[in-house]
Amino acid sequence: MEYSNRSTKLLIGLGVVLLLLAGRLFYVQILNQSYKTDAANNSMQREVIYPPRGVIYDRNGVLLVGNRICYDILVTPKEVKAFDTIALARALDTTADFVRDRMRYYQNYRSRIGWQTLTFLKQIDAETYIRFAEQEYMFPGFKSQARGIREYPFNAGGNLLGYISEVNAEFLQDHPDYRPGDFYGRTGLEAAREEDLRGKTGWHIYLRDSKGRQKAPYRGGEFDVEAVPGKDITTTIDAYLQNYGQRLMNGKKGSLVAIEPSTGEILAIVSSPGIDVSVLSDFGRHYNSLSQNKHKPLYNRAVSASYPPGSVFKMVNGLIGLQDGVLQPSMYYSCYGGYVYTSSGRKLGCHAHRTPLNLEDAVMMSCNGYFCHVMRTILENPEYSSTEEAYNHWREMVCSFGFGNRLGSDFPSELSGNIPTSEFYNKRYRKGHWRFPTIVSLSIGQGEILTTPLQIANLAAIIANRGYYYIPHVVKASEGVPLDPKYRERHYTMVDSTYYPSVIRGMWKAVNQFDDGATANVAYVRGLNICGKTGTAQNPHGKDNSVFVCFAPMDDPKIAVAAYVENAGSGASWASPIASLLVEKYLRGEISPDRRDLEYRVLRTKLIRQ
């Protein structure tokens, strides 16, 4: 009886398994056509349809990146019959040796290749395509395929736009939705907006006959997939301003960034030396020479380089002092060639100017001594029990200006810069063993402080807005491409808006008041009310860096700019002229006659050797 029960259970279990297998086979063979399609691949041919990649416009509709048609020559080795090698080489404008090498490769790996269709020759021009098309019947197994490649009708923003390249095996491992032969955005906007720009590949599936020849569409095209074009991108960039900024920075090393303060939209972002757009469409051919260039044109200094901000940072310390109540705009401090910060007489030097100064004039004249006094009062504020506690408060205030962290721009490779922590100084000097004299250089934007040009341009936008900023960004909302809500949010500093006017008047004086000691008169443009601040950032590797931030007009600002020129000396020497010319070009559309000599000098001068 027990044996009979076991046999019954075994038969029931076997029956259930058989039913499951039968159901699965019915689903695979009858209901799910995709399995039939996969199983029949040896008798089918898939013809890929590449979608047009989305194009990129500037803020005014100027085309920055478009597409043009080129042609690839494809080959299905199993379909190839005997042909005239020299005739094919002539038709394709290549060499007979190239043809023989490729055919030898296909022969050696024929079992692995099977019925695959491979790319024989990439990106032939229209003339070659027409010549081949006329003779294609002579070369069974070879055919042409149209696809789009990038073109750049306007020379603006090579480092910003980036380039595309063909996927490789390593990329395909991490991105299974791509196929061999696909292209993807490798750097810049092409990479940052890949999902929008790429579109979706389509295909046609054709049946083959017993001899492997292409016949009718499979199931009447039921399994064909239409290609979906990529989405077009509208940038915040002003193409003409970007081009002009590139010309101003030609022959100089550094960055030039312009922001619209009321929106955070980046109007121009120049890294120099940079990538000329003429090389982007065939970037692979130029990569080695660019990567080996000693001036690093592939390196986007605007967002990926960290520099000491120099004297432009003094305005941050002044604003913190006002907010903390340890500084009043009317307070005067003396400066006799600098600030003595040790009992032994060590001095942080300053240029010659009249003394004493109040806040406005200290900004106008960029007095080192004044801002050393200011930071000392911040760090020795009796509200805090120790220098470390006061410093932590100071650092929090500084970081509210967007320093010490990535701003969150939609541009890739943005660095955070550095605002050192108290833990850093505790480790370097031991806890409780450092005071204001230890870190006096932070008073003037030196020491361990590092910022990106994008961050100091954002500082100019903050001051223009009287205390807040929008995250700088380079893509505008457009059809099918929404703007991330975070770019519409105001980010307020920890300094109240009521404290900004004194600093702004000092910036206005630096440019517009032709007084003894004004540091930025070279940036003066009649009627524009440019407000600016020079900076001379010490550089341990050579000549000082030239820095200038500005915005205009003083009321209802339309543009904020930061210019950072490496190894160029004082802020007034090169950064101020460059930034002010960019402002004038944007607001006026042309350079006034009395400043054309200045423009000529900037455009013609090369500070670096190629």
Is residue 332 a part of any domain in this protein?
A: yes
State the pairing for strand pair 56-57/183-185.
unpaired
SS3 131: helix
Enter the pTM of the model.
0.85
pLDDT (0 to 100) of residue 255:
96
Per-residue model confidence as pLDDT tens digits over 360-393: 999 999 999 999 999 999 999 999 999 999 999 9
71 and 195 part of one domain: yes
pLDDT (0 to 100) of residue 125:
85
pLDDT band at residue 173 using 50, 70 and 90 as cut-offs? confident
Query: Nearest to residue 582, comparing CAs of 238, 235, 248?
Result: 248
Is residue 26 a part of any domain in this protein?
A: no
416 and 489 part of one domain: yes
568 and 433 part of one domain: yes
Query: Nearest to residue 583, comparing CAs of 546, 542, 507, 530?
Result: 530
Is residue 522 a part of any domain in this protein?
A: yes
Tokens of 74: 């494809």
Range of 131's domain? Answer: 53-202+221-235
Per-residue model confidence as pLDDT tens digits over 283-340: 777 778 888 888 888 889 999 999 999 999 999 999 999 999 999 999 999 998 888 8
HEC string for 310-336: HHHHHHHHHHHHHHHCCCCCCCCECCC
Q: Looking at residue 106, which CATH number applies to its domain?
A: 3.90.1310.10
DSSP 357: B
Per-residue model confidence as pLDDT tens digits over 89-120: 999 999 999 999 999 999 998 888 887 788 89
Is residue 150 a part of any domain in this protein?
A: yes
pLDDT (0 to 100) of residue 10:
64
pLDDT band at residue 210 using 50, 70 and 90 as cut-offs? low
395 and 538 part of one domain: yes
195 and 248 part of one domain: no
Q: Looking at residue 379, which CATH number applies to its domain?
A: 3.40.710.10
Residue holding tokens 């009718």? 216
d(CA 505, CA 253) in angstroms, rounded, equals 31
93 and 139 part of one domain: yes
Is residue 379 a part of any domain in this protein?
A: yes
Task: Give yes or no for residue 158 having a pLDDT over 50.
Answer: yes
Sign of the Cα pseudo-torsion (168, 172, 174, 175, in order):
positive
301 and 421 part of one domain: yes
SS3 55: coil
Is residue 158 a part of any domain in this protein?
A: yes
What is the total count of domains within the chain?
A: 2
Task: Give yes or no for residue 456 having a pLDDT over 60.
Answer: yes
63 and 149 part of one domain: yes
Choice among 66-80, 167-181, 225-239, 306-320 with the minimum mean pLDDT: 167-181
Q: Which residue has the higher pLDDT, 325 or 540?
A: 325
225 and 254 part of one domain: no
Query: Nearest to residue 261, comparing CAs of 520, 493, 552?
Result: 552
Helix 314-324 and helix 368-379, axial crossing angle in degrees, nearest 10: 40
Per-residue model confidence as pLDDT tens digits over 27-84: 545 445 544 444 345 566 677 778 889 999 999 999 999 998 888 899 989 889 999 9
192 and 331 part of one domain: no
Is residue 102 a part of any domain in this protein?
A: yes
70 and 181 part of one domain: yes
169 and 66 part of one domain: yes
Task: Give yes or no for residue 254 having a pLDDT over 90.
Answer: yes
pLDDT (0 to 100) of residue 407:
96
CB 566 within 8 A of CB 253: yes
CB 176 within 8 A of CB 147: no
Quickly list DSSP for 480-533. TBPPPGGGGS-EE-SS-GGGHHHHHHHHHHHHH---TT-S-GGG--TTT--EEE
pLDDT (0 to 100) of residue 260:
98
pLDDT (average), residues 520-531: 96
Q: Which helix (H) or strand (E) holds 475?
A: strand 475-476
Is residue 375 a part of any domain in this protein?
A: yes
- Please tell me which of 126-135, 237-246, 299-308 the model is most confident about, judged by mean pLDDT: 237-246
